[in-house]
Chains A and B, each alone.
Chain A
């Protein structure tokens, strides 16, 4: 590349602002698209409340019941490994915490770099495992669309490019860091328009399910 520093400064500068703008506008757009249609009034006599069960389900749905766990063990276990690994590398790596601090003013302690490095390797392995699973399991293969593979690719590219940059496997460093930030920006832009939105909308879907069931007196 002719001018890696210019690339890095563009990616850290105007490109980030653009991605951030699309991300924020997109998320607000999607959330309002979901909420504004509202719910019809419910005249049936309730057996239980909605708010408590709704919030409870947001938490409880994170745990698979034992029967489902046995039938979907790989999905649940490896799914958790990559999600947790992703969140740990995202939120507890000092250079990332610096980014969040610059955007929000909030800061928190991080984990030592080599720990994050190890978590990243595990995350990458788990992501690859999930891809293989998606390709081989009859239900997942049947359901999967181009979007599923695209979002997998983007997430993998983000984590992998971060790994490459941290280990300075791509040179010079401005190119490596620039590529990682570029992948992040691609992810931010794709986020509101793909299933990646589930990272936010799960709060709504779990709440609604919990509320609907809770009103009927069912633990959900």
Chain B
């Protein structure tokens, strides 16, 4: 429930020190790739604003995105965002349930019409609206209903951003990305399976400070966090460049921390901040713990050819194609070759001998 007091007042009420607040603002500033001079601006703005209402809709999702954001051992920077926002509806985090929860959502929508943020995780099924419902209402209906007074939409996680796992072949539920449905509201995608927690909070913080969504790439991802590839920031890159690759998960190369390209790492095609920000407060990230990047912040990553096959390998049906093509080639080639042979033999039989008398006519 939103309040009339400012964010600064609200924080002080909860016992969050000024020092923590400023540290948070400084961190957010650098994370958003803003110049350090912007730090005080961020702080001043956040101090003044009223906590915006956030309605978090969860559709065909695994709750991993929420887990990522909230899984912290001690109060973390990530978790602070919940102090900056008024999270008025969230299946996992809210205290209310059932009718009361739905009423809370409707009330927040009424009270903050035109100004609330809609955060979505999970994809929406279109093949049959009944595949995913909450309180009897389909995901699609809830989304469209909730959109009416939204200021902006934040699609958190690859499912919401691109369709994610439910959309993987054969996509039995007809799952689509949120951006496929939302056409007339500002929308931003924060993909990842799950997204790096501080990427979510940094993006939300940007919105809080500037009142608009940050600069996005062609997939509507914030460029600040998705502008460089894993490959370009990977600490194992020198091994790639030297051509030193681990070939199995426990061989010498693996133990020496060599590049994981041959074990299917999709780092070169993946744009995310994992290599820099890492996970669990900078503890580690997939490559550092010896597993190739899955490319989880990219569209269709589940159908991109397999997590353990190299990025360069074709992902279709090469073996079947080769077999059928070989048969077809032999049949067609055999026929055409035989026709050529016959054409020649016919001409041979049709040959009328040249005689000197005939030659003489040409003189």
Q: Do A and B bind?
A: yes
Residues of chain A with a CB closer than 8 A to B232's CB: 168
Q: In the complex, which residues of chain A have a beta carbon less than 8 angstroms from the beta carbon of B229?
A: 168, 172-173
| A177, B311: Cβ atoms closer than 8 Å | yes
Q: How far is the CB of B294 from chain A (nearest CB, A)?
A: 14
Least Cβ–Cβ distance between B272 and chain A, in angstroms: 12
Q: List 21 A-B contacts (CB under 8 A).
A: A1-B218, A2-B218, A4-B218, A8-B269, A9-B300, A12-B305, A16-B315, A16-B318, A20-B318, A21-B324, A24-B325, A25-B332, A27-B329, A33-B340, A35-B337, A36-B341, A38-B341, A99-B314, A112-B242, A115-B243, A173-B229
- Is B312 positioned at the interface, with any CB of A under 8 Å from its CB? yes
B334 CB-CB contact with A under 8 Å: yes
Q: Are B322 and A24 in contact (CB under 8 A)?
A: yes
Tell me whether B317 is interfacial, beta carbon within 8 Å: yes
**In the complex, what distance in Å separates the CA atom of A22 from the CA atom of B322?**
10
Q: Are A17 and B344 in contact (CB under 8 A)?
A: no
Could you tell me the distance in whole angstroms from the C-beta of A187 to the nearest C-beta in chain B? 15
Name the A residues within 8 Å of B217 (CB-CB). 172
Q: Are B298 and A28 neighbours in the complex by a CB distance under 8 Å?
A: no
Give the segment of A52-60, A90-98, A127-135, A196-204 that binds chain B: A90-98
**A73 in the interface (beta carbon within 8 A):** no
A183 to chain B, nearest CB (A): 14
Q: Is the CB of B316 within 8 A of A16?
A: yes
User: For the complex, is A72 an interface residue (Cβ under 8 Å from B)?
Assistant: no
Distance, CA A32 to CA B337, complexed state (A): 5
Could you tell me if A173 and B269 are in contact, using CB atoms closer than 8 angstroms?
A: yes
Q: Which among A13, A25, A34 has the greatest number of chain B C-beta atoms within 10 A?
A: A25
Say what secondary structure dominates the interface of chain A.
helix
Kindly identify which residue among B310, B324, B333, B338 contacts A31, using a CB–CB cutoff of 8 Å. Answer: B333
Given B241, B262, B313, which contacts A99 in the complex, CB threshold below 8 Å? Answer: B313
Known contacts being A5-B300, A21-B321, A177-B311, is A94 close to B337, with CB within 8 Å?
Answer: no
In the bound complex, what is the Cα–Cα distance between A30 and B304 (angstroms)? 34
Report A39 CB to chain B, min CB distance, Å.
11
Residues of A within 8 A of B261 (CB): 94-95
**Given A98-B310, A103-B318: A33 touches B333 (CB 8 Å cut-off):** yes
Contacts of A174 in B (CB 8 A): 269, 298
Q: Which of A29, A38, A103 is within 8 Å of B333, CB to CB?
A: A29
B299 adjacent to chain A (CB < 8 Å): yes
Residues of B within 8 A of A1 (CB): 218
CB within 8 Å of B: which A83-110 residues: 94-96, 98-99, 102-103, 110
Q: Which residue of A lies closest to B299 (CB)?
A: A5
Chain B 94-106, CB-CB to A under 8 Å as 1, else 0, gives 0000000000000
B interface, how many residues as a size bin?
35 or more
Tell me the bound Cα distance from A12 to B299 in angstroms. 15
> Measured between C-beta atoms, what is the minimum distance from B101 to chain A in Å?
36
Asked, given contacts A14-B316, A25-B325, A32-B330, whether A102 binds B241 with beta carbons under 8 Å apart, the answer is: no
Cross-chain contact of B304 among A9, A21, A113 (Cβ < 8 A): A9
Given A12-B315, A36-B337, A36-B341, also A20-B243 (CB < 8 A): no
A37 interface hit (Cβ, 8 Å): yes
Q: Which listed residue, B241, B318, B336, B344, touches A114 by the CB 8 Å rule?
A: B241
Q: Which residues of B contact A2 (CB under 8 A)?
A: 218
A6 CB–B CB distance under 8 Å: yes
Does B328 touch A at the CB level, under 8 Å?
Answer: yes
B312→A95 contact, CB < 8 A: yes
User: Are B240 and A113 in contact, with the CB atoms below 8 A?
Assistant: yes
Query: B268 in the interface, Cβ–Cβ < 8 Å?
Result: yes
Q: Which of B310, B322, B325, B330 has the most CB of A within 10 A?
A: B325
CB contacts (< 8 Å) of B325 on chain A: these are 20-25
CA–CA, A96 and B231, complex, Å: 18
Complex: A34 Cα to B338 Cα, angstroms: 10
Cβ-based interface call for A65 (8 A): no
Q: CA of A1 to CA of B219 in the docked complex: distance in angstroms?
A: 10
Residues of chain B contacted by A31 (CB below 8 angstroms): 333
User: Contact at A36–B340, with CB atoms within 8 Å?
Assistant: yes
Q: How far is the CA of A168 from the CA of B228 in the complex (A)?
A: 11
A170 is an interface residue with CB less than 8 A from chain B: no
